[in-house]
Amino acid sequence: MEKYIINGGNKLYGSVKIQAAKNSVLPILAAAVLTDEKVKILNVPQISDVKNMVKILTCLGCKAVYENNNITIDSSSADCYEIPSALAHELRSSVFLLGSVISRFHMAKIAYPGGCDIGLRPVDLHLTGLKRLGVNITEKNGYILCKCDKLFGNEIMLDCPSVGATENIMLAAVKAEGTTVIKNAAREPEIEDLQKFLNCIGAKVSGAGSGTVIIEGVQTLHGCEFLPIPDRIEAGTFLIAAAMCGGEVRAEGVYHENISSLIHKLRENGCKIHIKDDKIILENNRRLASVKTIETQPYPGFPTDLQAQMTALCCICSGQSIITENLFETRFKYVPELRKMGADITVIDRNAFVRGVEKFKGANVIAHDLRGGAALVLAGLAADGRSEVMDISHIDRGYGSFEYKLRNLGADIVRVTV
């Protein structure tokens, strides 16, 4: 197991290059199974979720070649429709493979997917959508078995704008016979990026980002070279780090419009934020004021994936805040750890009630999930004294070279093996 040792109190100065979006790369890797021609994905982050997704693809018979930060996937020899359960339990995005594997083999078998322990995370909307496309689904002994003679287009109304369900149905519908319309679809930028990738390999997808996605089935697909969008959550995490530690940080290679809800909140806190082309510069050298409320919502609302980091910021602002987590049932597991660092925070149901304190105190804390773990690192960086963050494998799932990027900004953080 590995941990971070952090000596807090340094201000952060400098530039940080943002990686390609984890939540765009993962469905795009799943989509590579749809075509027999090579797909090259550029600027791929070195994170364990991507490595595990590539492992699953190789178990299906795909070939994967890493070259610097690029990955080339060749699915021409793919010959297996069963996603290995050990890997499926490792990451949520394994479930996206249902759509692309069923499209390729008309068969698919997967154990219930894993991922961060932030809630129940059912897949009912995925399965209902696939059934509407003609898939017969049985669930037995913890496995989901899918079969179909052929896939045909249909209209699907999602009960909630699920990112994963939208993506899974898009993947299954690309080569279906006829047209599929997904209503109440997720609007996240990663959905638009998946649409762009699918059209790049010859699919006919439109409407992503609007809430209604239309997929006209095609017969053949080809290869392509593709640069996914920047990771808006990584960018947001570094901006919040700068707000908490003070200094001036420039996030480079980022689409500011994809995190406008965060920028709005940080400006409300009193941060100076300048936007220039694909750069966001945050400057802060004083204690910030609390924002009264933060409510996580599906895009374009405040992203649930920045909830923990923003709560950590609220803990050291002057005043009180209420943070409401509307998407996941148990996404406050990091709160007891922040309390060890002196946070004054009470969680009741989906609400965290925060009273700002002057400073965090360094402490030994444990990461329980990806974004909660990142929030603990930010708290350690801003704290007085020394902190240790244990079980940082959770953080490695979504942040590539995290400690290197933070050290380049002046943070005192090292990774050690225990």
Q: Which position has the token pair 């027999």?
A: 36
The token pair at 209 is 């980002």
133 is a site residue for ligand EPZ (CB under 6 A): no
The token pair at 101 is 């594997």
**Min dist. Cβ of residue 342 to ligand EPZ (A):** 26
Residue 116 a catalytic site member:
yes
371 is a site residue for ligand EPZ (CB under 6 A): yes
Q: 113: helix, coil or strand?
A: coil
The one catalytic residue in 62, 116, 271, 314 is 116
User: Would you mind telling me the total number of residues written for the chain in this entry?
Assistant: 418
One character per residue 311-330, x = contact with ligand EPZ (rule: CB under 6 A): ----------------xx--
Give the residue from 333, 394, 384 showing the smallest Cα distance to 363. 384
**Min dist. Cβ of residue 9 to ligand EPZ (A):** 28
Q: Which position has the token pair 């898009």?
A: 170
39 is a site residue for ligand EPZ (CB under 6 A): no
Alpha-carbon gap, residue 92 to 89, rounded angstroms = 7
Angle among Cα 212, 216, 217 to the nearest 5 degrees reads 135
Among 9, 119, 319, 336, binds ligand EPZ (CB under 6 A): 119
Amino acid 301 reads G
- Please give the full DSSP string across 298-327, using - where no structure is assigned: STTSB-GGGHHHHHHHHHTSBSEEEEE--S
31 is a site residue for ligand EPZ (CB under 6 A): no
Alpha-carbon gap, residue 195 to 193, rounded angstroms = 5
**Min dist. Cβ of residue 118 to ligand EPZ (A):** 6
Alpha-carbon gap, residue 145 to 132, rounded angstroms = 16
* CA distance between the termini of the chain: 6
Among 126, 187, 232, 250, binds ligand EPZ (CB under 6 A): 126
Among 160, 275, 414, 416, binds ligand EPZ (CB under 6 A): 160
Among 120, 141, 276, 348, binds ligand EPZ (CB under 6 A): 120
Give residue number: closest CB to ligand EPZ: 164
Residues 178-197 that bind ligand EPZ (CB under 6 A): 186
One character per residue 161-180, x = contact with ligand EPZ (rule: CB under 6 A): -xxxx---------------
Among 123, 182, 221, 314, binds ligand EPZ (CB under 6 A): 123
92 is a site residue for ligand EPZ (CB under 6 A): yes
Helices then strands, counting H and E runs in the chain, come out as 14, 24
Residues that bind ligand EPZ (CB under 6 A): 22-23, 26, 92-93, 116, 119-126, 160, 162-165, 186, 304-305, 327-328, 370-371, 398
